Structure 1
């Protein structure tokens, strides 16, 4: 880490951070009367307003970029912690844990249908003269944003519901299967299939080691008592340990040239496995740390980074973005309507729209940038 970022003699080096934190404080207050508008949307819009596209008060600085990366990692980490592994992992006795269709299998079918439709849509869009690679377009169409889905469900108090878990797991699979496929595709396209592709397996080997050894170790009475005794106000050993696991997997992801969000999400799954029912306060502390500081910085900086001028300089691109967004919306809603028949029509439509929340931003960046 370049510590000169934090020791610069520029007297205004913290001013952009203060502006961002002021927005993080003010936006939820302003939106408190408009409960249908997610705070995430307000934070991104606020970032656009203070960014180079409008007022020019905030630009990328090394400190803000660092905090933006940590905010994204923390968001994916908390998303991993929210996944109900009982819905993902098979019962030890081989029996189904529920008479309902399993959330994980339903979400997997949603993703398979989405990817299939996305491949067809990508091929048709390219054939109509839009240019580009149909496979890359398919990845763009099939991706979603766990970073938008998680806070939205949490804000609505729906994370623990069956519908909330269905949407969350669907978003998780869409994000991370797409990331893995895209990473493999790019590496293979650039250099051919090599050891770098196989090195992605190191992340999952590390996860399996923690999965097999971790719970048996930390749930021993003596070990748990030891950590409980060190969880007082001035030590918070469990919080330190959770953040250590997060950073270990982020570093490992960077080492194997994977996306840091993949490592952060796996770290969240591990902490979810290791924590016990009595560790609810640990979750609250980590959420306060993330949603109270780093995550708002991330979303505001997403708005700051948007290049709206490029869109208005080339209005024809806006038409392309609108068409791609419409295609992406259909690709996302149709599979949810088919697979989620145990939910109401309103829930299925809402779920499909929520799974497509990121595409308006993602496609705009891909086309305009």
Structure 2
């Protein structure tokens, strides 16, 4: 296990020199300027490697899976060929770990980005905010059927307390795209892209994931590449969109779809840890040989499917118990998200991707790893 750092390329407010100063031993990056579904060319990959200035490119996060594949549209076969070409080109440049997700339309989702906590600010999602958005801003048809009666009543009460600024903030955070998100939307365009999923059941969506894996995993095996799927964030349906990578059972089913080492997992302790019935240490033990990438962050869970991100070693996830069964594996990990600390308050940083907050998390995680290694 070794530490890495997510870097968004030359436009990242954090420079590559600063990344190298954190002690990270590898970079996690992607070609964010390439349109979804297009082939990543070898020259473009080579250019990003030059921009890393000697820091190894440990993990690609992410090669996005196009909506045409997720919905099994008529263009899916050609999009799958492009995805295979990306795998081959990355492998030819010595990059052998690719992270991706299969979340429909939205990537990681938060309703508030600057919720105060002791010692800094954090990223948070509140269930009542999300329900209020779904019911009263997005006004999704049939949304009220997806919430229990007590939550509907609480969401109505919560909605009535929100100011105009609150509503604008929630809408902006839901639609405008966070770091790593593939697109941003207006309310009208969001309604259009979500509409097809009214006809796609959870089981059909799983079949579409199976088709994707059956197509690309054999290529990854041939090229010596490990694919790692990032779990749903948050690990439950959002505005009616299906989520199928949220639980222990989901992960086991996914790995069984194509039983090959190249079909692997990114274990994100924050995403999976937001769900009360997920046992993260048990997942780490059960899937240890198929975990090829780690996101370490922590959360404190609240009522009504809500959570707040917390310090890397402070929260509901027992980080030591998660890390212990994975210590001996040569897995890249990264400190995921971080508080806004010290000079981070004075500089522009991407939400969740501060310099000093993540560096503090990396130091804490490296201390934990070192201590566990010494007594194992």
TM-score with structure 1 length normalisation?
0.24
TM-score with structure 2 length normalisation?
0.24
Whichever of the two has the greater Rg, that structure is 1
Structure ranking higher in helix proportion: 1
Q: Which has the higher contact order (CA 8 A, sep 6+)?
A: 1
